[in-house]
Structure 1
């Protein structure tokens, strides 16, 4: 409901799939756009998709040797060179920085687990080599019964490890980095009707195993149970992510295909250009970029490489208001219209229950989901009647609309809400036809469409004379629609004005206005959530301004963690015992609380206190320290300093002490500067690459010592 009016909504992919499509596709993120076709580049080399992986001694005319590529936690790219028998690491500057030790027998796959152990599948050696990246040494070589061709990082019974894809026999083997042998074996089923296909690549898509099979003149991507997901004869490698993104690398020169998994179906997105791809391997780095191998250093993809259709049409199914002779209201469209693109809307209304000459149904060109109960889809409009309608342009919605309850479904700088009116006679049923126009490089995107049902009721407030004739009533209804829409949005905002004065529901742009009620200016360096929480507590906080509790709460709102304020005089302590005069031959012995005692003989001394020229009042009174757990960035330190300067009592002095992640030696005070146990999921670091005491753990669990031989002391390390 939108105030006193209902809303007919089309936003879900199931709803868009039931519409009639012409040169349009369903987008992976939701909504519709113009259809596209990939633009292939001139191939750098010709190769046969059915060719076997080449070994070190069986070079063919120009075959792509399947290689491996992976990333570690330092964003280094590790890739194999099968013909050279080595694994090489490069940085973002494409400069090799490290090589895996040992000569490898045709390394075809590589993976890195969470403990930074490198796994390499040696196809010709029938083994998996495991190396420690920290120490730069080979831990072991696990022999395999079959020929390992690829592997993927995956935990084994909660322990870091990999899944290895082998041939002869075709199976998936789980290898633990600490185990001497294979752990478990998963069954691997070949896709139906393809008896001669061989497994080539393995990956994880949303947590499930996906395998690339090649043979019979084609290539099929299927899960480990043999269920086919897609087919492409030129597929050379696959890579999946936990978020449901599947990247399919094709032959050299062809762009990479992208798919998003939603509800057991794959929706294809625009392919990515991959210049100089050598047919080796593809992966997705921790930043979400697609990286692939070349004859030199690995590269990232260069963006979409497609040619869009110039025009596309989407015709909705029948929308029902439930009441005959309904005058429909405004149409709201959440869309992204880049420069050079456009959107127009045709509308058709009727009171007839039966549709004569219905538009033939047509599915989207790409991204077709599984439609449940397609027979329940409402009918499409009459093709002849829809041709007689006039297109209506859409205009950006005014700023007043931001206050209404019909805000856009999607947010972002590229998305906006456009509106138009239903310029059609009254009718119970309504059809919309969206005409999208674009260029070869850009396409408009539409996420959702909403229609008011019914429209405004101003005609009922006017004398009957103005609405007695249908043609005159239709004109007057459309004429008043724009002005009434603005007034309706203002009325809705006024009725819901409590939303504007609530710090947790008001729009972000209204936060400074709401803060002006309390006479404060918000700091843009604060996060949006922190600013909202501050406004919710501002009156209670400023009533206690200048107190420890108020300042600690302000720091908690900004930092998101507790900061303790310690007054210096509470930590003054007691001094040690001094026997006789001090070494400077002063005339006075040490003092306690400013009391001095003249002493000139042995035994006259005072326990604790200070020298007479050093007053505890000068050192400790009206001074405090803010203890902040962890470390602060430069911006955070500036904000904390500003908070202390503005909200502390004017006669006091304060400073900030960053405690770091560990326990500082020499200033450990339980409950103040001590924080026992690291946070969950704390990462480990390498000696020489981390600051001791800044959240780092030196070393990592590795293979321990073991006793070999028959005599005591025969211990071999590693």
Structure 2
């Protein structure tokens, strides 16, 4: 660990330090978590560009329809449809069938086999791809139209933040006030009656999803993009699938082919800069130590950082110290002063932008030279060289210290990314199944130390199943159900001292069927294993995991039980049925009573003629015995 004193650290680009808003040019993102970057070209320094939004919000004169090639185009007073077989565009209506209703069409929308066109305060709605005029909606100043999944028509007009819903017959259903910023210039509908709006607010484009502002990434995740790649005043381009891969075709606004336009030079400005306010150290004649820059600098971009130190707000342009190109960690070589001012300049080739995440300042100057004897620091020139020389090693040691300090965070299951969870589980000897989500994995890793201390116990197995599957099982150990060496209350006579009660100690006749000694109907019939080891192997080291019916996947529970159970045990998983079933036509409390059978009367009952024989008070019992071996609702059925 480094022995140098801890330096005070300021984090720039936040509301604590601040920047001079009057000295910001061509830079955006001060309130964005991603960082400061070059602004977009044009009047919109923030938000997406129109080119980015074209696949989801095309030009109003274009509309994607049914199928990958089902495009519609407004060309003058005509409505054209994309004809892939002819390689161009053809009118929707034949010359003799054109209804000639369109005067000045402004926008078109299509969904399935329905088409809607905005024209001179009216919205025409056709079915069967233009064969049947379904409705004519009167809507003053309508500019945008969209078709929803539930046969509804959404219409917005210029300068309004309201969207009107019309039914399939053209009747007004309701008016939705969106409360969005700017003018609505695009409408899209998604699954679950979701409405996506595109607005233009003082030169900036904004995306809204159900009245809440959204991003391009969220839009792309919710709606598939169309094949529209470019659109300008001269025409547009579509990317379509061909026999040899994707093919880009370009057309003018009359549907005639044209050459593909040259790609855009870029979307970002090429230069931008900002300057901070005076950063006060609170120390008179402070010796500022170090500047560290955290940024992403793609190829073709650069970041230049300059600092100047002063005791007050007076300094000259020649006092600025500029870091060498590509250097992101340098010492402040300035006279002592209380204040520091920082200037950052970003540049690029307009196709990409650098992103500045954080600039960190360390002060006052503190190096390992402070630990040297005074004899090594008598010469001012030599002392300055010693400080700068040792600062190189201090920086390396500080990075190592930072890694060591943050190492415990790598072992925190709540703090590591989801992708690191399998690596962290490997340190503990855990293995995950593909169906377990990140929360389940984090809980299992956090509980692993405690589970390892109790591994092999019913409590640990029950806790593991609860963490993974969210249910609490019943662990039934079968060793307590063995009928051998079962002590009863009555002691037999000395003549039969080998048995207590009515069951013999390790009675051979009770373990499996033996000719001449076993009782029919009361002895299990088995044909495998050594009969003499039945008292030890029948229930020893066996257990059952009892679950409620349909609660979890039984196969997944079996795999977990196999990994968590001790090696010498054998477990099984069993899920319950429909519950506690009383007969098939019984009404509990009306004509059903849980009572013992009446005692049989020998002499009046005949076998096979409705006669019931039952064992005596000390004989074997059958049926339900509550609290002994029965788990109601899991493996018990009373009928």
What is the TM-score normalised by the length of structure 2? 0.51
Aligned counterpart, 1:110? 109
- SS for the counterpart of 1:535 is helix
Residue 391 of structure 2 aligns with which residue?
Answer: 481
Match of residue 181 from structure 1: 171
Deviation at 1:500, TM superposition (A): 5.4
Counterpart selection for 1:164 from 140, 155, 164: 155
Contact residue 424 and residue 474 of structure 1 kept, 8 A: no
Preserved contact between residue 33 and residue 446 of structure 1 (Cα < 8 Å): yes
Give the secondary structure class of the aligned counterpart of 1:175: strand
- Stretches of structure 1 that go unaligned for 5 or more consecutive residues are 39-63, 193-198, 212-220, 223-228, 232-237, 248-257, 261-271, 283-290, 357-381, 396-417, 570-592, 597-604, 658-666, 672-718
| CA deviation after TM superposition for structure 1 residue 519, in Å | 5.0
- 1:542: which partner in 2? 452
Alpha-carbon distance in structure 2 between the residues aligned to 1:423 and 1:204 = 57
Q: Does 1:445 align with 2:441?
A: no
Distance 1:446 1:503 in 2: 29
Does the residue aligned with 1:325 lie in a helix, a strand or coil?
Answer: coil
Cross-structure match for 1:274: 230
Q: CA offsets, 1:520-572, max 9 Å, x none? A: 577899665544332210022234445676556556656x7659799999xxx
Q: Is the 8 A contact 2:466 2:473 kept in 1?
A: no
Query: Does 2:314 correspond to 1:355?
Result: yes
- Give me the whole-angstrom Cα distance separating, in 2, the residues matched to 1:492 and 1:334: 15
Match for residue 318 of structure 2?
Answer: 384
Contact persistence 2:367–2:394 (CA under 8 A): no
Structure 2 matches for 1:11-30, cutoff 5 A?
11-12=13-14, 15=18, 18=21, 20=23, 26=29, 30=34
SS in 2 for 1:484: helix
**2:207 matched to which residue of 1?**
240
CA–CA distance in structure 2, aligned partners of residues 509 and 166 of structure 1: 47
Distance 1:451 1:475, change over 3 A: same
CA RMSD of aligned residues (A): 6.7
Q: 1:145–1:648: structure 2 CA closer, same or farther, 3 Å change rule? A: same
Please say if 1:420 is aligned against 2:330. Answer: yes
Q: Is the 8 A contact 2:513 2:525 kept in 1?
A: no
SS in 2 for 1:480: helix
- SS of the equivalent of 1:306 reads coil
Equivalent position to 1:10, from 9, 12, 19: 12
What's the CA shift string for 1:615-640, capped at 9, x where partnerless? 9x99xx867798997999xxx99x88
Is the Cα contact below 8 Å between 1:566 and 1:627 reproduced in 2?
Answer: no
For the 8 Å contact 2:20–2:277, the answer to whether it is kept is no
Moved more, 488-497 or 321-330: 488-497
* C-alpha separation in 2, matches of 1:550 and 1:31: 47
Give matches, 1:39-54, under 5 Å: none
User: Structure 2 CA distance, aligned partners of 1:447 and 1:342?
Assistant: 14
Inter-partner Cα distance in structure 1 for 2:110 and 2:416? 48
Post-superposition offset of 1:306: 0.6
Give the unaligned 5+ runs of structure 2.
43-57, 220-227, 239-247, 479-510, 515-519, 530-536, 581-639
Superposition map of 1:501-650 within 5 A: 501-505=411-415, 518=428, 520=430, 529-545=439-455, 550=460, 554=464, 643=560, 645-648=562-565, 650=567
Larger radius of gyration: 2
- Is 1:324 equivalent to 2:318 in the alignment? no
Measured after TM superposition, the shift of residue 139 of structure 1 is: 12
Residue 434 of structure 2 corresponds to residue 430 of structure 1: no
For residues 237 and 314 of structure 2, the distance between their equivalents in structure 1, rounded to whole angstroms, comes to 54
SS at match of 1:11: coil
Corresponding residue number in structure 1 for 2:295: 335
Residues 154 and 468 (structure 1), Cα distance of their counterparts in 2 relative to 1, 3 Å cut: farther
Identify if the C-alpha distance between structure 1 residues 103 and 669 changes in structure 2 by more than 3 Å, giving closer, same or farther. farther
Deviations for 1:176-226, whole angstroms, at most 9, x for unmatched residues?
54897324558999x99xxxxxx9945599999776xxxxxxxxx45xxxx
The question of whether the paired residues in 2 share the 8 Å contact of 1:151 and 1:162 is answered with yes
- Residues 368 and 391 in structure 2, CA contact (< 8 A), matched pair in contact too: no
Moved more, 330-339 or 341-350: 341-350
